[in-house]
Amino acid sequence: MGETVTIKTPDGSFSAYLAHPKAAAAPAILVIQEIFGVNADMRKTCDDLAGQGYIAICPDLYWRQEPDVELFDKTEADWKKALALYNAFDVDAGIKDINETLRYVRGLKGTSGKVGAMGYCLGGLLAYLTATRTDADASVAYYGVGVDKLIGEAGRIRQPFMTHIAEEDEFVSKDAQKIVRDGLQDNPKVAVHSYPGMSHAFARNNGIHYDKANADLANGRTLAFFKTVLG
């Protein structure tokens, strides 16, 4: 089980879910939320990473709009609210908050020094921008939405980056997927994995499109990647 912590910044304070491994010292991974906020899925993801030996932290990136949002993909009301929050989300402010979270977690007792990031959906876009705009040691994006519109930043990726693309993603068109692949293919720091037949959010714990085989494959690749880069 993790705990809720408070991260103080010049813009204000926001909460984050923090899970610790058993080891006294460990690398850290910043988990970046989907459009549903820091919900049970994000907390389970942090807990699972802690079980794999990582400090894991998931900041509340909606705090500027509404603190402590917790939604899921099972009801129309949750979808409506999640999409409204997503459409009003300030991506640049979100990256500022990710930078502040990176600073916070690097200052924690027991952090070995290296910090990675991984995100889903909206968080997938932010994981890509974490790779292009921050000093995170490694980043992983799951079915990022809107990456194609910012693919011009791909040349700024200096640390290892991995992306998982759902080929039947209802929020990322085939044309958008091609733009992303083409924009990343020449960067030796980047690994691109595609999942035929998979819908958006195929790795969301208990989600409506969850596919265990492909989620296990993607998560296994992610853990192997972080083990290589972060230790």
| Helix H or strand E segment including 18 | strand 12-19
Give CA–CA dist 69/161, Å, rounded. Answer: 28
Active site (annotated) includes residue 209: no
Query: Residue 179: left (phi > 0), alpha (psi -120 to 50), or beta?
Result: alpha
The two beta strands, 138-142 and 111-120, are parallel
Active site (annotated) includes residue 169: yes
* Helical segments of 112-211, H only: 122-133, 174-184
Looking at the DSSP bridge assignments, the partners of residue 139 are 117, 161
- Which DSSP category does 199 fall into? P
Catalytic residue among 60, 78, 169, 211: 169
Query: Residue 80: left (phi > 0), alpha (psi -120 to 50), or beta?
Result: alpha
Tell me the CB-side half-sphere exposure of residue 195, using CA atoms within 13 A.
25
Catalytic residue among 20, 164, 200, 209: 200
Which residues have C-beta within 8 Å of that of residue 213, sequence separation ≥ 6? Answer: none
Neighbours of 201 (CB within 10 A): 27
Give CA–CA dist 11/14, Å, rounded. Answer: 10
- Which residues are catalytic, by number? 169, 200
